[in-house]
Chains A and B, each alone.
Chain A
Amino acid sequence: MTNALAIQTRDLTKHYGRSGEIKALTAVNLEIKGGELFGFLGPNGAGKSTTIRTLLGFLHPTSGSASVLGLDVVKDSVEIRRRVGYLPSGFAVYDYMSGREYLDHMRALSGRPSLLRHRVMEALELSDAILKRPVRDYSRGMRQKIGVVQALETDPELLILDEPSEGLDPLMQRSLQELLLERVAAGRTVFFSSHLISEVERICSRVAIVRGGKLVALETVKSLVRFQRRRVDALVTRKPSRLATLAGVFGVKVAPEGKSGYRISCEAESAAVPKLIERLQTSGLRDLLIEAASLEEAFMSYYGDARHSTGAVQVFPEVAEVKRSKPKAAAKRPVTKRAPAKRAAVKRVPTKKIAATKRRAR
């Protein structure tokens, strides 16, 4: 299953309520190629699960269309589910069964042979002894592992995983990621919905970000990161002039540092970094810190402002259409709040390496 589109949506819209007042999804356009590990990002309530549930036929689209593995999600829902492995968020099981009975039951319902159970069990450190115990005795993490096994064991063409790392410890999360990469290497497609940005960044080739039921970004992870602003922190000997007038440089702050220096902090688009460094060099650059953009920062640039100002994703103003061809436009929106933690790849750059930094920024 490569090259052909595994998932395609065309203006997929889902509104709830008699007059459609609750807009869960609005004109979502997605194209996910076969053999791709696709990340689907968004906080709770953004529309991730609604999209998935529409793809699987649990919800009926209000308008638009969607196909999975070339099959229409409304007309061919049963056939789609024959070929898809699914792990829902908040995975629930029949408590009176043992782990093995549950897996056997779900496999029997799927009507397909178990091809990968032992491989997945091995990766997730699930033993036969554990599977003999009733599911009601399982911890949340153990239940989640059972959920992963049932989704993967028949080696489906497409895996749709909604928050698959929920309840798994970091080691198991890593094992799961390796398993998914294995499946992708074997030609399978993975639709990976998560709010854990770091894991999406680690394993996914492309990512879509949803907000308030709309797709606000659909890019490769690298592209998304590339177009995010860098945070620049510099120490110069002389007070620089006209920094704020540089195109692509925002929020310039200049503060005296010690007896004969100034601390400069600002944000800059990647394209503006070389020019900014040149300008700083003319002011006697002594130290430079550039924070490389992470997917989290890309994500926060779509979410940060409105989240802090409104506290609710659903009431966001209509700010963003799909910025597939204009990622810079997204980056131009002011970023007033940034994620306090998880800054990725902080680099302290000595002055002598400035030239190299310039080349990287270019």
Chain B
Amino acid sequence: MINMVLFRRLIRGHRIRLGVGLAVVVIWSLLFPVIYQAVQESLADSPGRPPGGNFSTLARTISVGFIHPISIALFGILSAGLTVGALSGERQRGTLELLLSRPLSRRTILATMLVEGWVGSALVSLAYIGGTILGAQIAGVTDQLAFEQLPILWAYGALFWGMFATIGIATSGSFDRTTPAMAITVSFIMFNYIIEVIGSFWDVVEPYQFLSLFNHFSPVDLLEGTVDGSAALIFGIVALVAAIWAFYIFPRRDLAAPN
């Protein structure tokens, strides 16, 4: 279903972005156990202050890092960012034409690019967890890290961002230029994120938080062993709908000569 020659070329084409991006994610994620340890030390120095809030446990601290705006940007670049420019970018540069002149069906090309997006999602999730473990070791808090929950956190992270990667390929296959595909995908992610953030402190929006996909992604629950299967189902359904659209629309599109 996927073409390995094309897949290798895609990875090669994105190797710098992937390499640098993943390194930044590792560095970023290792900060959170260190921050956690610093907060704990600070609280120990101030025994009068209650130990609540986002930095009260290592799991909560890691969770903050997972859905921090910087993380959203990094994760987005390394998952949806790979797919959103895949087809439309090749089309805009004029290289899609030669690719399509090879004996590859459009579905094969699409599937290969989609797999690359999912690989990016899996890698970025892995990098975050790897950085977290590294940070926990640096901070000396590995005893508080629920190692047995890390695979499920990785899987959910990969699924969550793989879903956005699928939306990215769906928009990419629907347009001849990267700008509208990028705009729609970024707007979709931003909309979901803003609903979740605003709903957390504004009562009017709070009832609609469930509409945000971010509302269903709760790393702290995953790390604390409270796995919500419905979240995976939601992410899977959204990804499936996006994939169906992509596999429907791209093979049927007329690809006129690039401008």
Choose the segment among B47-55, B176-184, B232-240, B248-256 that binds chain A (4+ C-beta atoms closer than 8 Å): B248-256
Q: Which residue of B lies closest to A77 (CB)?
A: B105
Q: How far is the CB of B96 from chain A (nearest CB, A)?
A: 9
Please, which residues of chain A bring their CB within 8 A of the CB of B99?
Answer: 109
Please, which residues of chain B bring their CB within 8 A of the CB of A89?
Answer: 257
Q: How far is the CB of B204 from chain A (nearest CB, A)?
A: 41
Q: Are B103 and A91 in touch, CB under 8 angstroms?
A: no
Please, which residues of chain B bring their CB within 8 A of the CB of A81?
Answer: 100-104
Contact digits for A69-88, partner B, Cβ 8 Å, 1 yes 0 no: 00000000111011010101
Q: Tell me which of B98, B103, B256 contacts A78 (CB under 8 A).
A: B103
B94 in the interface, Cβ–Cβ < 8 Å? yes
A123 in the interface, Cβ–Cβ < 8 Å? no
Docked complex: A42-84 residues within 8 A CB-CB of B: 49-50, 53, 56-60, 77-79, 81-82, 84
CA distance A226 to B126 in the complex (A): 73
Inter-chain contact count A-B, CB under 8 Å? Answer: 76
Q: How far is the CB of B131 from chain A (nearest CB, A)?
A: 28
Q: Are B95 and A58 in touch, CB under 8 angstroms?
A: no
Please, which residues of chain B bring their CB within 8 A of the CB of A82?
Answer: 103
Choose the segment among A92-100, A300-308, A314-322, A343-351 that binds chain B (4+ C-beta atoms closer than 8 Å): A92-100
Q: How far is the CB of B10 from chain A (nearest CB, A)?
A: 10
Please, which residues of chain B bring their CB within 8 A of the CB of A109?
Answer: 3, 5-6, 99, 102-104
Q: Are A96 and B13 in touch, CB under 8 angstroms?
A: yes
Q: Are B94 and A90 in touch, CB under 8 angstroms?
A: yes
Interface residues of B: mostly helix, strand, loop or mixed? Answer: loop
Q: Are B254 and A92 in touch, CB under 8 angstroms?
A: no
Q: Are B104 and A56 in touch, CB under 8 angstroms?
A: no
Q: How far is the CB of B251 from chain A (nearest CB, A)?
A: 10
B206 in the interface, Cβ–Cβ < 8 Å? no
CA distance A109 to B104 in the complex (A): 8
Please, which residues of chain B bring their CB within 8 A of the CB of A92?
Answer: 93-95, 97-98, 258
Given contacts A96-B13, A105-B5, A105-B9, contact A56 B101 (CB under 8 A): yes
A residues within 8 Å of B by Cβ? 16, 49-50, 53, 56-60, 77-79, 81-82, 84, 86, 88-94, 96, 105-106, 108-111, 150
25 CB-based A-B contacts, threshold 8 Å? A16-B256, A50-B257, A53-B255, A53-B256, A53-B257, A56-B101, A58-B100, A59-B255, A78-B104, A78-B105, A81-B103, A81-B104, A82-B103, A88-B98, A88-B101, A89-B257, A91-B98, A92-B98, A96-B12, A105-B9, A106-B102, A109-B102, A109-B104, A110-B102, A150-B98
Known A-B contacts: A53-B256, A58-B256. Give 13 more (CB < 8 A).
A16-B254, A50-B256, A77-B105, A81-B102, A81-B103, A86-B101, A88-B94, A88-B101, A91-B94, A92-B93, A96-B12, A105-B5, A109-B103
What are the 8 tightest A-B residue pairs by CB atom distance, in nearest-first order? A92-B94, A82-B103, A86-B101, A109-B102, A58-B255, A108-B5, A88-B97, A81-B103
